[in-house]
Structure 1
Amino acid sequence: MNKFKYIGISLLILTGLSFSSCSKDFLDEELTNQYSTEYFETPEGIQALTLSLYGNIRWHFGFEWAYGITLYGTDEFTNGNDLTNQMWNTYDSRLSPIRATASTGAANGNATGPEALWDELYYGIASCNTIIANADKITDLKIRNRCLAHAYFLRGYNYYRLTAQYGGVVLQTKPAVGVVRNFTRATEEQCWEQVITDLRNAYQLFEGEIFTYGKGITWTKATAAHFLAKALLFRSSERNDAWNSAYKEADMNEAISACTYAINARGPLTANYSDLYANWTGVDSAAEQQNEILMAAGHNADASTVGRFGNRTYSYFTPQFSVFSGGWVRRGVWIGSMDFQRCRPTEYTYGIYDHVNDARLWKTFKTVYGANNLVAPNAKGLQLGDPAIVMILNTKNDNTYNSYTFGAAIQNPTWKDDNSRLPSWTVGSRQTATTGALTTKIGQYSPNSLVLYQNGNYVAPNFKSGGTSFSNFFAGINKTDDGTRQAERGDSRRDVIMARLGETYLLRAECYVRLGQYANAMNDINIIRARAQWKNGENRSYYRDGSQAFETNALNTGTNATNYINSNLNMNTYYLSNPTIAVTTASSSLQLTTFPANLPAEDEAVLTKIGATTDYQRALHFILNERTRELIGEWQRWETLSRTGTLISRAKAFNPEAFGITANKHELRPIPQSFIDGLLNEDGSNLSTEQKKAWQNPGYTN
């Protein structure tokens, strides 16, 4: 497939591109930034500027803000030992209208400020405004509508993200003339009306599933439908209950219709959950071309087009394996990630899965690292390929490991892998068996071992190394691993999925719940859960992730190749974690038969802790749980909990580090002080102190 070479700054453009053909080889186009703003008022410039809009969405995954403003401070993730964005998780005083720096208490200079999202998304909105204002200069109606569809979509998407984070924001829908420093802040109701109007326009203007730029990277009618449904659902959700009563029923029905279009146009779901993320084999591989993917931030193998923001997400979900392994597992390009230990799963996250029957847990979490670097002295005779790190995801009622001593014992391991229940570890090669019994190689040691529960107590956070204050030893998720990187710290070259049908089904299910149509909601939920079940013939201890792309990486030679072979045994800890389960390749079932009564035990435990008792509360929280199982780490948890009015209760219940979270404050982000300080009154005078306070969200001070 010929994929457009994305650029990081939206006013850099490609020239010579015609919207009238889908067969153009975009990789042959030349980059240029030598045009004046007048160029973007010409038909050619408008088309080029439209194409450049795809670059704006790459920003979301270019640095620490990727997880800080989307995943931290929720029920799903807390911080590991790295504290770069700790304030976004703890909600302490450093999360303020002014960006925290090392001098004001941040761990380092990389902390995300509240202005990051604000500045970048208004940058994209400005490009959209230029296109919309000048589109009538394009005489070809099809091309004009394509330009308008893209501009309305990105403007709607950017205002969606701004309003979801900040509440009411500035609505600028026409190109600014000169320097403008006098603005009016719109209400949240006005903002959602603008978002919905823009996405409705995009939905009407897109030509069905026409892949204008190449399948896998192009926004289509289904993309607009998905986000239109999200916007309608947001407007009618709990955060806006003070004013949204007149919208609710109509919004839910329209959202259901939009979801139904996307599902019918782009379905069915990808058959195997692994194929969405774990089975990524390289740039433009089959994993990036699936119909289920509705929107992705595209990346490729051309370093010249990385631009300002590459994909930096490959390190944020990984434990600090190079430290607690004693050096036996090296950090490097053959691993697929670096051990930045940013996003550590909470007890809720591990526990919300059915550990026996839900394949998503074992296809998402990496639980084994093989030794790929033998360090002297090696008193216990560890060999290349031995399981240097093993993470056992057992459950609270499991007593198998009550008497074992676990942890990062580097030179004096106290746990020996001689239990007949353990899977086999094949020295020097990766496990590829798909059927048959799993035997044990007696005498192999696992010098670094973690278990979630002992004696009914959650002990995983106690595993630390090197005097760390927070746990740096945990099972991370694999949705961003990339074995094609060209340097240890090089940018990832895989796309980042931003929307897919798995979420669309859950959006429609939530709309049905809000209308009291629980049977319809259960039907959609069961479609998602049917894919999550083990299929007949699957080896439940088999594992893959994006590190496998190193197999065809040009760097895969010599020592690198040897280390890679021994770094990533294709094995998880399914049978270690479920010690009473006999080896099986039978199918499993996750189907609900009643809803919202008599839910699975893992859900009932959450509902009890949250205090969800009514049918609506139980159904809503179940969907939030199912969103974790299906969408863990997919960059939207904070906005989902804020939208549903559950952020405070669920963060307090399941994230011990979120100690500072406060109701009627942290459901919104602080408006950037840098923006407020730059405002002027209409007469050119500076804003007074009281006027500045009126611009700020409740509870925040500068």
Structure 2
Amino acid sequence: MKLHKYIGGVLAIGLALGSASCSEDFLDENLETSYNTQYFDTPEGLEALTLSLYGNIRWHFGYEWAFGLTLYGADEFDVANDYTNETWNTYDNRFSPLHATTALGAANANCTAPGALWDQLYFGIASCNTILEKADAVFSDPERNRRAKAHAYFLRGYNEYRLAAQYGTYVIVTEPVSGVVRNFTRATQEEAWGQCISDLRNAYEHFSGENFTYGKGMTWTKATAAHFLAKALLFRASERNSAWNASYIDKDLEEAIKMCDYVIGARSLESDYSNLYANWTDIDCAIETSDEILMAATHNGDTSTAGRFGNRTYNYFNPQFSNFSGGWVKRGVWIGGMDFQRCRPTEYTYSVFDHKNDARMWKTFRTVYGANSIADASAGVALGDPGIIFILNTKDDHTYDNQTFGATSSNARSHSSFRDVNGRLAEWAADKRQTPTAGTLAGKKGADGQYVPNAWICYQNGKYVGNNLGVPGGTTYNTTGNNNNMFCGINKTDDGSRLAEKGDAHRDVTMARVGETYLVRAECYVRQHNYSKAMEDINVIRRRAQWKNGENRSYYVDGSQAFEKNSLYEKNKEMYINSNLNMNTYYLSNPDMDVTTAASDLQLKTFPANLPAEDEAVMQQLGVSGDYDRAINFILNERTRELLGEWQRWETLSRTGWLIKRAKAFNAQAALYIKEGKHELRPIPQSFIDGLLQENGDNLTSDQKAAWQNPGY
């Protein structure tokens, strides 16, 4: 398969298979790797190349760059006790155009290189260029021609979007390249966004409605193109481009709203937030074909979606639970996530939710792990009792002021010192082996004195104490000293279908959905100062987030449940049952709440005045005033509540001009080194710049290299 891939500063031709093999249902066929370039002059060959475009997006979730490029260095997550990609969060002197190898200070060899994304995106662009060059001549069937072009325009536009969002600019390449090319022109940011928007417009025009060409839930449609076109237009109209975008803003916002109108009219929201992530029950289960999902990196049990194209995202969001208290909770495939402790939520992330009324919080955070390895009759702990709990209380809660929380030491078996501390935690769910129904109150009062060997809390005496618990780490670049392995993680990637503890996940990774489209349109309205229309869209999202009448507020489930259909289930059934207790700490975290199944209310009554208390606290900490800035920051808060961990936070904050302020306010590890005018863009990889030549064949001069690089690097 003919592809063009950047190697350093060189654009070279190679023979490869694209990023993965695909068939029309993305499940069964493997394409052969022996095709020559003439194969793409046949309808079958060019169709195969079109299908292979879906493999290009799997790359984004196959390794540490999944979170390093998208979540680190912002406000929602910081580094726990593993420093693999720490430099992407701290912005210290290791964060540069050079790859931070171990020799240059990286913690290990897995640190993401600045050029990883750059190279891979051009890999996909090259395939798109081949399709667009050949389609008219190869396809006699107009529908097949249109379909191939729609996909090629979309992926090229999407990859250009990622390049522009991360690096600000890129090399515009719209035709196949023959031979080796080492001379390129750096596009202006205006040219870069113009090219991206043009391609996404072409994709929108070429797609035929919501025609799921290659299988519903797995393929891109007109709504997919419209969503990303709206995002690209919004990006061009946003603060990061304020030096040159004045003439575009009004028209871009109008067009973006029209694109959002199409998406919202063509596709629908899930009624229950759990159906987006928590209710993942098996490979290719129903929630992966949700009408809300606009784009996903598809994975399944087929070998074509495994290995170097596999889904590794289940590794990154859990605390180091297997190391707490000497191993009360043993990790394994029976728990949907690994405890690699990469992404630790910040205080902002916990506090920005309405802890009582927002169901998203309790459907996203895993707050209870069952004791599956150690029982201690003297302490009153049996296998299947809570072994680790996280109490997500609020700053004004003083219930636990006089108690001490944490985990026992790694080799401890005696934990009497924790008996008085954690022994008064009394509210637990119904029988862990039963799925509560609407009439079963899983949060009803339990027996007093339930002992839990590991317990974590957010606030005591009005102060955030979460960073002081767990096993601490250390780094010369973190002045807070608060790296640790104990925190409450999120469940959006959990996968109990894995066949080995560190095996590939088999669930899709959602990359775009209608829930975000509403927030994109709301932001467009804010930028038009139409706050009433913005509030309407925001309230649609918040209405879905409310507790519904009859919901069990202390019931919890996540993708671990897929283990029930795993071939390893019978052998490890007890480990699964003891680990996953189907409960959360809603009532422990809200100790003034009586047990209830009543509906809650999250609807805004005014906007942007008189915001909910959790949002007003953010405004105060940031020093935000004025309707426009309050409205933008409310939407940024709402994006956290709705889209937490969904692979786009850094670009969102960079786009809106709030990256530096919010990182300084909410991410202590980033605050020391992050700089305005520099870190809103990523460094252009030095490996690319060093490979460039002048038109006469000479190497670039130092000044020419500097002109290629982004400011400050």
Alignment partners' CA distance in 1, 2:682 and 2:473: 33
Q: Output the aligned Cα RMSD.
A: 1.7
Alignment partners' CA distance in 2, 1:402 and 1:242: 50
Alignment partners' CA distance in 2, 1:496 and 1:26: 14
The residue that corresponds to 2:433 in the other structure is: 429
Can you list the C-alpha shifts for 1:216-250, whole angstroms capped at 9, x where unaligned?
11000000000000000000000000000000010
1:395-406 maps to which residues of 2 (within 5 A)? 395-406=394-405
Q: Quick check: 1:394–1:451 contact (8 Å CA) kept in 2?
A: yes
Q: Quick check: 1:50–1:147 contact (8 Å CA) kept in 2?
A: yes
Tell me, yes or no, if structure 1 residue 628 matches structure 2 residue 635: no
CA drift at 1:308: 2.6
Q: Quick check: 2:424–2:449 contact (8 Å CA) kept in 1?
A: no
Report which stretch shifted further, 461-470 or 33-42.
461-470
Alignment partners' CA distance in 2, 1:305 and 1:87: 29
C-alpha change, 1:422 and 1:48, in structure 2 (3 Å) is same
CA drift at 1:46: 1.3
SS at match of 2:379: coil
Alignment partners' CA distance in 1, 2:18 and 2:635: 40
C-alpha change, 1:14 and 1:72, in structure 2 (3 Å) is closer
Report which stretch shifted further, 38-47 or 317-326.
38-47
Q: Quick check: 1:424–1:441 contact (8 Å CA) kept in 2?
A: no
1:102-251 maps to which residues of 2 (within 5 A)? 102-137=102-137, 138-251=139-252
Can you list the C-alpha shifts for 1:403-443, whole angstroms capped at 9, x where unaligned?
001110253151456547522474x7366354336131344
CA drift at 1:586: 0.2
Alignment partners' CA distance in 2, 1:442 and 1:523: 45
Q: Which TM-score applies when normalising by structure 2? A: 0.93
C-alpha change, 1:597 and 1:212, in structure 2 (3 Å) is same
Q: Quick check: 1:168–1:185 contact (8 Å CA) kept in 2?
A: yes
Report which stretch shifted further, 463-472 or 529-538.
463-472
Q: Quick check: 1:430–1:569 contact (8 Å CA) kept in 2?
A: no
CA drift at 1:326: 1.8
CA drift at 1:697: 0.7
Q: Quick check: 1:12–1:32 contact (8 Å CA) kept in 2?
A: no
How many residue pairs were aligned? 681
> Which amino acid in structure 2 is aligned with residue 387 of structure 1?
P
C-alpha change, 1:30 and 1:113, in structure 2 (3 Å) is closer
Q: Quick check: 1:385–1:567 contact (8 Å CA) kept in 2?
A: yes
CA drift at 1:10: 5.1
> Which amino acid in structure 1 is aligned with residue 649 of structure 2?
R
1:564-579 maps to which residues of 2 (within 5 A)? 564-579=576-591
Alignment partners' CA distance in 2, 1:334 and 1:160: 38
Can you list the C-alpha shifts for 1:260-301, whole angstroms capped at 9, x where unaligned?
10110012x100001100000011111101000000000001
Alignment partners' CA distance in 1, 2:502 and 2:92: 31
C-alpha change, 1:26 and 1:320, in structure 2 (3 Å) is closer
> Which amino acid in structure 2 is aligned with residue 429 of structure 1?
R
CA drift at 1:13: 7.3
SS at match of 2:326: coil
Alignment partners' CA distance in 2, 1:546 and 1:307: 21
Alignment partners' CA distance in 1, 2:471 and 2:329: 14
Question: Structure 1 vs Structure 2: percent identity of aligned residues?
Answer: 65
Can you list the C-alpha shifts for 1:517-543, whole angstroms capped at 9, x where unaligned?
111000000000000000000010000
Q: Quick check: 2:425–2:588 contact (8 Å CA) kept in 1?
A: no
Alignment partners' CA distance in 1, 2:114 and 2:377: 48
CA drift at 1:381: 4.4
Alignment partners' CA distance in 2, 1:215 and 1:61: 21
Q: Quick check: 1:156–1:195 contact (8 Å CA) kept in 2?
A: yes
Tell me, yes or no, if structure 1 residue 495 matches structure 2 residue 502: no
CA drift at 1:382: 2.2
Q: Quick check: 1:10–1:124 contact (8 Å CA) kept in 2?
A: no
> Which amino acid in structure 2 is aligned with residue 482 of structure 1?
D
CA drift at 1:343: 0.3
The residue that corresponds to 2:369 in the other structure is: 369
Tell me, yes or no, if structure 1 residue 461 matches structure 2 residue 461: no
The runs of 5 or more residues in structure 1 that have no matched partner are 1-8, 18-23
SS at match of 1:249: helix
CA drift at 1:14: 5.9
Q: Quick check: 2:424–2:451 contact (8 Å CA) kept in 1?
A: no
Alignment partners' CA distance in 1, 2:221 and 2:56: 17
1:463-478 maps to which residues of 2 (within 5 A)? 463-465=469-471, 470-478=483-491
CA drift at 1:467: 6.2
Alignment partners' CA distance in 1, 2:575 and 2:95: 42
Alignment partners' CA distance in 2, 1:283 and 1:11: 24
Alignment partners' CA distance in 1, 2:650 and 2:533: 26
C-alpha change, 1:56 and 1:576, in structure 2 (3 Å) is same
Can you list the C-alpha shifts for 1:160-218, whole angstroms capped at 9, x where unaligned?
00010001111011111100000000001000000000000000000000001101110
Q: Quick check: 1:430–1:568 contact (8 Å CA) kept in 2?
A: no
Can you list the C-alpha shifts for 1:471-526, whole angstroms capped at 9, x where unaligned?
21011000000000010000100000000000000000000000111110000000
Alignment partners' CA distance in 2, 1:520 and 1:459: 39
Alignment partners' CA distance in 2, 1:657 and 1:666: 14
1:660-679 maps to which residues of 2 (within 5 A)? 660-679=673-692
> Which amino acid in structure 1 is aligned with residue 521 of structure 2?
R
SS at match of 1:444: coil
Alignment partners' CA distance in 1, 2:525 and 2:488: 35
2:451 aligns with one of 427, 439, 445: 445
Q: Quick check: 2:307–2:504 contact (8 Å CA) kept in 1?
A: no
1:552 aligns with one of 549, 565, 584: 565
Q: Which TM-score applies when normalising by structure 1? A: 0.95
The runs of 5 or more residues in structure 2 that have no matched partner are 1-15, 475-480
Alignment partners' CA distance in 1, 2:596 and 2:686: 58
